[in-house]
Amino acid sequence: MVSQSQFEDVPPWRPRHFVGGHPALDLVNTISHRLDPTLAVDRMNAPGKIATWMVEVGVLTAGEAAGLAPDGLVPGVARLRAAAAHVFDAAAADQPPPPTALAQILGLAGDGAAELAQVPDDGKTAARVRPARLDTPGLIAALALLVLDGVFRLPRGRVHACPRCGWLFRDSSKGRRRRWCSMKVCGNREKVARHYQVRRGARGTTTRGDAP
- pLDDT, one tens digit per residue, over 99-123 is 999 999 999 998 789 988 888 877 7
The answer to whether the CB of 48 falls within 8 A of the CB of 135 is no
Q: DSSP character for 208?
A: P
Residue of 65, 28, 27 lying closest to 47 (CA atoms): 65
Encoded amino acid at 127, one letter: A
Q: Tell me the whole-structure pTM to 2 decimals.
A: 0.82
Residue 118 amino acid letter: Q
Long-range contacts of 88-91 (CB under 8 A, 24+ apart): 88/24, 88/25, 88/28, 88/150, 88/151, 88/159, 88/168, 89/161, 89/168, 91/151, 91/154, 91/156, 91/159
Chain segment 51-100, per-residue pLDDT in tens: 999 999 999 999 999 989 999 999 999 999 999 999 999 999 999 999 99
DSSP state of 169: E
- Residue of 136, 153, 117 whose CA lies nearest to 23: 153
For the chain, what are the domain ranges?
A: 15-170
> How far is residue 128 CA from its own chain's centroid?
16
Class of 15-170 in CATH: mainly alpha
Q: Report pLDDT digits (tens) over 187-204.
A: 555 444 454 455 555 555
User: What is the residue type of 17?
Assistant: H
